[in-house]
Amino acid sequence: MNLLFIADPLASFKIHKDTTFAMMREAQRRGHSVAACEVQSISWQRGGKVMAQVRDIVLTGDADQWFTQTGTRRVALADFDGVLMRKDPPFDSEFFYATHLLEQAEREGAKVLNRPSALREHPEKLAIMEFPELIGPTLVTRDAQEIRAFHAEHQDIILKPLDGMGGMGIFRVGPDGRNLGSIIETLNRDGAQSVMVQKFLPEIVDGDKRVLVIGGKPVPYSLARIPQGNEVRGNLAAGGKGVAQPLSPSDWAIGEALGPILMQRGLLLVGVDVIGDCVTEINVTSPTCFQEIYDQTGCDVAALFLDALEQELGHN
């Protein structure tokens, strides 16, 4: 198969932990050809197909010069057997426009995963509200008084922006309400920006678990991101320690409940974040943790992903 990866700049990859790199490596191992481009390389001209300036690459196995470029070309996205949208967040206006271009490419015959419409319709924090039975007490609002009432009810809460990533902008406010007013002002900007407020889950001490769901089925191991020191955030980007572990019975139940629904919507790969028994986010843009799980458990997540990708694209 000829595969196109739409991703961040190749030079920025940290290949010892990059999930897109792991996908590319497994694809090449299976004999598939690999091309890459960035979102800004995609264009659409009147009367034509959605095109991209792409780089054809071969992975070298070298830790420093990890790929060689065999050529560049301008090509229609529909000419690839599969297009993998792996652009990292944030989900800003340019990402939003990219989903429209990719959706047009789909109309022209491209097979894009995860599906552009599903990326657009599943904001990663807000998407959990569709599944109230799987989440803890949660409020999404712009109203400062509603936030204060939620705090009065639950005492110990987490506040975060809907467009944050890597633990950015997450605050905890305890029973004393210290700095609640200042935090609300910072996050909701006088009512101009929505805020997600959740009851604090003390199980965070055991980790914010990333449960990967591939092809509608949970991967047998999660990566628990465990906060370090006095930090409340488990995100690896915020200094959390990643510990791979077998799924708990509730993790399995969550993965099996969400998997078929999300797969039907065109979400081949999803990263479900779980604290205790509660879902806290459903990540769909560029879920990670393939290599951390493989390094610690030997579970080849990239192989599981390529199995599902080949099945979805009809490649035997």
What is the set of active-site residues? 125, 160, 210, 225, 233, 273, 281, 283
Can you spell out the DSSP letters for 149-167? HHHHHHSSEEEEETT--TT
Q: How far apart are CA 161 and CA 169, in angstroms?
A: 6
Residues making up the chain, counted from first to last: 316
What own/partner pairs with CB < 8 Å and gap ≥ 24 does 172-175 have? 172/200, 172/232
Which tokens hold the place of 98? 């990219």
Q: How far apart are CA 68 and CA 242, in angstroms?
A: 31
Whole-Å CA distances, 196 to 83, 90, 103, 140, 171? 32, 16, 29, 5, 11
CA 212 to chain centre: 10
